[in-house]
Amino acid sequence: MSPIYIPSPPLNAYIHNLYYVDGRAPYPHEKILPDSRLDLKINFGGAVQAYEVDHAEPFATCSDSWCVGLWSASHIVDWPLDMQYFGVSFKAGGAYPFLQLPVSELHNQVVPLDVLWGHCAAEIRERMYAASTIEARFALLEQYLLARLSEAPDGLNAVQYALTQIARCNGALSIRALSDQMGISQNHLSTEFKRLVGGTPKALARLYRFEQVLRSIDPAQPVDWAELAYQSCYYDQSHFNKDFVEFTGHNPTEYLRLRRRVHAENPQRAQYLRLLPGD
């Protein structure tokens, strides 16, 4: 199990956790499904290459440090043999105070960290590399993130409230009704979401609902797809299947076959619902 570190306040209001990965991936070629959260990685191992699905040439080769924006489509990653990196998993809406740019600019993008933080990206990587223990590296990363944390931007409270409501309903709610309840226009809420979260409220609601679908699937048990679609508040089976193919690139039956394969071959890897073998 990869070491995970929960940061102290006030960082924990913006960050799920810090984590460390060391070793070889069980599948060197993996598909990563869409995610509502942003992620930052500081790398000490080999380069990671990212591909669009069905494209032979990588759109990004990441060697030092990089930031992964909100993804609304699947992409493929080639992991190195010597995989070793620290990561920051931001909560939805949590990355903006550290990046200080409209998060929509990172949508479906993998961006080198020096583009965002300049020479500071290399500085923190070098200091962490020189630290003697994993714990010391976590402490340095936490200190640096605290130093980067700016004041909460205008609009963040409203966005966080909306995110809480979307998460509480697992994405199955009317964004128009939510904006009316909040007393702001749907367009204004959408603008604030793009700036602070990286996508529209409707796009986040779709991702939250689909993430709940993935959490509901037990690969060791038969799956009643019609019942799962109904429980997840999809209009009909066709709508459910359309989202499934759009987010995963597979129909539900194909996806379940791959989940079962991972569950049988690498039970520990099976806990990461967004990762599938890339072949």
Residue-wise pLDDT tens for the chain (279 aa)? 579 999 999 999 999 999 999 999 999 999 999 988 899 999 999 999 999 998 999 999 999 999 999 999 899 999 999 999 999 999 999 999 999 999 999 999 999 999 999 999 999 999 999 999 999 999 999 999 999 999 888 999 999 999 999 999 999 999 999 999 999 999 999 999 999 999 999 999 999 999 999 999 999 999 999 999 999 999 899 999 999 999 999 999 999 999 999 999 999 888 899 999 986
**Across-strand partners of 51?**
76
| CATH at 128 | 2.60.120
If 0-12 CB within 10 Å is exposed, 13-18 middle and 19+ buried, where does residue 85 land?
Answer: buried
Q: Are 62 and 112 in contact (CB under 8 A)?
A: yes
Do 218 and 107 fall into the same domain?
A: no
Do 160 and 94 fall into the same domain?
A: no
pTM of the prediction?
A: 0.93
Distances 209 to 134, 232, 247, 263 between C-alpha atoms, Å: 35, 7, 11, 23
Do 92 and 29 fall into the same domain?
A: yes
Full domain range(s) for residue 16 = 4-148
| Structure confidence by residue, pLDDT tens digits, 205-224 | 999 999 999 999 999 999 99
Do 16 and 137 fall into the same domain?
A: yes
Q: What is 135-173 written as a DSSP string?
A: HHHHHHHHHHHHHH--PPPTTHHHHHHHHHHHHHTTT-S
Q: Are 43 and 84 in contact (CB under 8 A)?
A: yes
| CATH at 193 | 1.10.10.60
Show which of 148, 180, 196 is a domain's final residue. 148
- Which residues have a Cβ under 8 Å from the Cβ of 55 and sit 6 or more positions away? none
Do 33 and 98 fall into the same domain?
A: yes
| Structure confidence by residue, pLDDT tens digits, 50-61 | 999 989 999 999
Q: How many domains does the chain have?
A: 2
Show which of 148, 170, 191 is a domain's final residue. 148
Q: Are 112 and 64 in contact (CB under 8 A)?
A: yes
Do 8 and 142 fall into the same domain?
A: yes
